[in-house]
Amino acid sequence: MSEEINKQMTATVISHFGNEVLINNQANENIRAKVKASLPALVCGDKVIWQENKLHEAIVIELLPRHGLLTRSTQYSAEKLIAANVDIAFIITSHKPAFKTGLLDRYVAACELAEIQVAILFNKIDTISDEELANYKSILKPYQDIGYPVHYISAKKQLGIDSFKQTIHNKTGVLVGQSGVGKSSILRALFPEANPKIGDISIKTNKGKHTTTYSELYALDDHSFLIDSPGIREFGLNIDEPESLAYGFREFQAFLGQCQFRDCKHTTEPKCAISQAVKENKITQQRWDSYKGILASLSE
């Protein structure tokens, strides 16, 4: 047996299919690898250790500790992995498919709970009037007020792309959002050599056609990565304890612990510091409604 065969090397998971993964090794080559059966499910962005077996097949033998694990729950599984080791999530929204505040709040909460930085991108500004743009700016202003950067961009016309490009430097970013909002188009605008598939919007339904079907990681340089993810219709939050949901709403933090009841759910309880903050316009009614909507959906 040659020395090479026992050598253990690190790599990053680019994508996964069934029980095989595509990994990017230290020489920046993409190789298909099998995964040791005892390992948990791997996901795009995972850092792993692999080695060659006697048949010169690549085998992933260890999963290195993760940070920034973005997950969601679906009707089939409580924890569906989206991407690992994510530093920043770009939440993409647009006019078509229609902007959905509730979905945005779910993504934002999932990122907060996973300690992932958030940037909101409103894409396709080339397709709307100045008046419509001003309206979206007023809808998104509350997010800026609580510290989330919002960028108004057009992937197609290359507008505003430079405004957030540098934020991926030395980081791993993920593009998330509904099908058809332009995630893959933004990736291509940032990085023309990456050639992700770009789909159409259905004329009938104004919805995307689920063109990207699995998450894939693209190396922008040796230390900067961007993950394109498939669009989803509904984003179920993966939360064990409903009490932790309030921590997904960053502007609630200053008021938590000040309610009359220690187990206050911040919905209809008297002397609730959150509902008081809403009355005093320190928290928006819309964000509180989102919180209550998500909380109700957790017990369904």
Ligand X SMILES: Nc1nc2c(ncn2[C@@H]2O[C@H](COP(=O)(O)OP(=O)(O)OP(=O)(O)O)[C@@H](O)[C@H]2O)c(=O)[nH]1
**Residue numbers of the site for Mg ion (CB under 5 A)?**
183-184, 211-212
CA distances from 101 to 14, 160, 182, 291 (A): 31, 22, 17, 11
In terms of C-beta distances under 8 Å and separation of at least 24 residues, what long-range contacts does 16-22 make, across chains too? Answer: 16/41, 16/42, 16/43, 16/44, 16/214, 17/214, 21/48, 21/60
Q: How many residues does the chain have?
A: 300
206 binds ligand X (CB under 6 A): no
184 binds ligand X (CB under 6 A): yes
Give 66's DSSP letter. Answer: P
- Nearest distance from residue 209's CB to Mg ion, in Å? 9
CA distances from 200 to 193, 203, 209, 211, 299 (A): 21, 9, 6, 8, 36
97 binds ligand X (CB under 6 A): no
Of 102, 142, 149, 199, the one binding ligand X (CB under 6 A) is 199
Site string for ligand X, 5-34 (x = CB under 6 A): ------------------------------
Which of 31-39, 51-59, 123-131, 282-290 is the region at the interface with ligand X (rule: CB under 6 A)?
123-131
- Nearest distance from residue 206's CB to ligand X, in Å? 11
Of 30, 51, 117, 211, the one binding ligand X (CB under 6 A) is 211
151 binds ligand X (CB under 6 A): no
Which of 3-11, 52-60, 154-162, 215-223 is the region at the interface with ligand X (rule: CB under 6 A)?
154-162
Contact 124, 95 (CB under 8 A): yes
Among Zn ion, Mg ion, ligand X, none, residue 272 binds (CB under 5-8 Å by kind): Zn ion
Residues with Cβ within 8 Å of 76's Cβ and at least 6 positions away in sequence, in order, are none
231 binds ligand X (CB under 6 A): yes
Q: Which of residues 155-174 bind ligand X (CB under 6 A)?
A: 155-156
Which of 10-18, 22-30, 70-78, 177-185 is the region at the interface with ligand X (rule: CB under 6 A)?
177-185
89 binds ligand X (CB under 6 A): no
93 binds ligand X (CB under 6 A): no
Of 95, 124, 151, 266, the one binding ligand X (CB under 6 A) is 124
Give 195's DSSP letter. Answer: -
The whole-angstrom distance between residue 49's C-alpha and the CA centroid of its chain comes to 25
Residues with Cβ within 8 Å of 209's Cβ and at least 6 positions away in sequence, in order, are 179, 180, 199, 200, 201, 202
Integer Cα distance of 149 and 118 in angstroms: 8
Closest to Mg ion by CB, 142 or 199: 199
Where do runs of H (alpha helix) occur along 218-284? 273-279
Integer Cα distance of 68 and 56 in angstroms: 33
What residue ranges bind ligand X (CB under 6 A)?
Answer: 123-124, 126-127, 154-156, 179-185, 198-201, 208-212, 230-231
